[in-house]
Structure 1
Amino acid sequence: MTRTTTATPRFTLPRPMLALSASALLLVTACTEAQMNDGRQNTRTGALGGAAAGAIAGAAISGGTRQGTLLGAAVGGIAGAAYGDYLDRQEAALRGQLGNNVQIVNTGDRLIVTMPQDILFATDSAQLSGALTGDLATVARSLNEYPRTTVQVIGHTDNTGDAAYNQQLSARRANAVASVLVNNGVSSGRIQSFGRGEDQPRATNLTPEGRQQNRRVEIVILPTA
């Protein structure tokens, strides 16, 4: 008796050049539509990141076919661009509403709104001084206008004093800022707050200027599906 066997289909990854070509095509399209430094860097980064993820997913679903890879890249690119554009519009609105003491950094996949602790809080205190509470209310209004985001409120200190105490102080300050956002209508379910103490300096702690930069509260805005 002759036994007939059926070979199990084997998944093969798409060729590197195919994924590279799809990403390159999206990059050229994005750069044709808008020049660099035009306030749409999140849109472009989202499109490229979404295309890469979509290409991988499309290849896996289709067994590594060219059509599946390209379709996944296209769908992922559209979704990524939409998320990026959402952040770009929120960034533009915040820049027009916040004071000069507040810094906004666009990393391509998130917005980081930085407020100096020296203005928000008195030395060795987690009680908000009121100087920037108006800006916090503005951030809260923006978060309510752009609800498809989550928020991380992160406190930072310099390295002056005991590290364990700095950790506790940074956490209490982050909680104080998060409370202002919640009191201004932002859902507590969207917000996480925690302190980093002196562990993530942005400048040297060897100079007064550097330590001043390290004393800060960051409001990190992340897009959601």
Structure 2
Amino acid sequence: MKAWIVILAALGLVACTTTDPYTGEQRTSRTAAGAGIGAVAGAVIGAASASRSDRRRGAVTGAIAGGAIGGGVGAYMDRQERKLREQLQGTGVQVQREGDIIYLIMPGNITFDVNSHHVRSEFFEVLNSVALVVQEFDKTVIEVSGHTDSTGSDAINNPLSERRASSVGDYLISQRVSRDRIHTVGYGSRYPIASNATAEGREANRRVELELIPVGD
């Protein structure tokens, strides 16, 4: 955790502001932010951000940057983000960025049938596009996490979220993404991104997320 704080501090020292070409909003340049990290050798990949810090699990915990994560990582993830946005435009998949980590948020209503963990056949093309990009940008590990709304019990939600994450992970592997890069986990209803008090919020919470994490140059 201390190593991650050092990384974030380094990012803050060298960050500059640019305009996001997709949203028009001001954001920190990841290329510039990455330039100050070269001195942080053997950095431990820990919490993705303060907002997601309690979600670090599994393979990404203890993942070691090869040597050090240097200035090239920001540019590398910029290119990957741009390619993903191009490929996934209009599919319903959200592309989000926090620091040098990219999140792909796949709503459950377009990915799976109700109470099913089998990926819908009409979603295969979308996952094929994801697979092509992550094959090209192979200096990342990929955490696939399944999430549900708060309806139903943990006894139902937890296994369903695990099976859905595994289904997406297995499909990516079938499309020649290395198994060693993929870790799957189910969180059930523990990490909502919207209120479970409304139908719209519950729909948003039923999702699978892909977290693309750089591990070295």
**Normalised TM-score (structure 2):** 0.74
Aligned counterpart, 2:18: 35
* RCO comparison, higher one (Cα < 8 Å, 6+): 2
Q: How does 1:1-225 map to 2 (within 5 A)?
A: 27=14, 31=16, 35-37=18-20, 41-48=29-36, 50=37, 53=40, 79-100=69-90, 101-225=92-216
Question: C-alpha displacement at 1:224, in angstroms?
Answer: 1.2
Contact preservation (8 Å) 1:153, 1:191: yes
Unaligned runs of 5+ in 2: 1-8, 22-26, 42-67
Q: Hey, which of these two has a bigger chunk of helix by percent?
A: 1
Taking the aligned partners of 1:24 and 1:160, their CA distance within structure 2 comes to: 40
Q: Which one has the largest radius of gyration?
A: 1
Secondary structure (helix, strand or coil) at the match of 1:105 reads: strand
Question: C-alpha displacement at 1:44, in angstroms?
Answer: 2.9
Contact preservation (8 Å) 2:69, 2:215: no
Question: C-alpha displacement at 1:161, in angstroms?
Answer: 0.5
Taking the aligned partners of 2:161 and 2:11, their CA distance within structure 1 comes to: 43
Aligned pairs, number: 178
Instruction: Tell me the C-alpha RMSD between the 2 structures.
Output: 2.7
Change (3 A) 1:153 1:23: closer
CA offsets, 1:169-225, max 9 Å, x none?
000000000011001010101100010100000010000010011000001101111
Contact preservation (8 Å) 1:156, 1:215: yes
Secondary structure (helix, strand or coil) at the match of 2:133 reads: helix
Aligned counterpart, 2:52: none
Q: How much identity, in percent, do the aligned residues show?
A: 39
Change (3 A) 1:24 1:194: closer
Question: C-alpha displacement at 1:36, in angstroms?
Answer: 4.3
Question: C-alpha displacement at 1:130, in angstroms?
Answer: 1.8
Question: C-alpha displacement at 1:79, in angstroms?
Answer: 4.6
Q: Which amino acid aligns with 1:106?
A: R
Taking the aligned partners of 1:45 and 1:177, their CA distance within structure 2 comes to: 31
Question: C-alpha displacement at 1:43, in angstroms?
Answer: 1.9
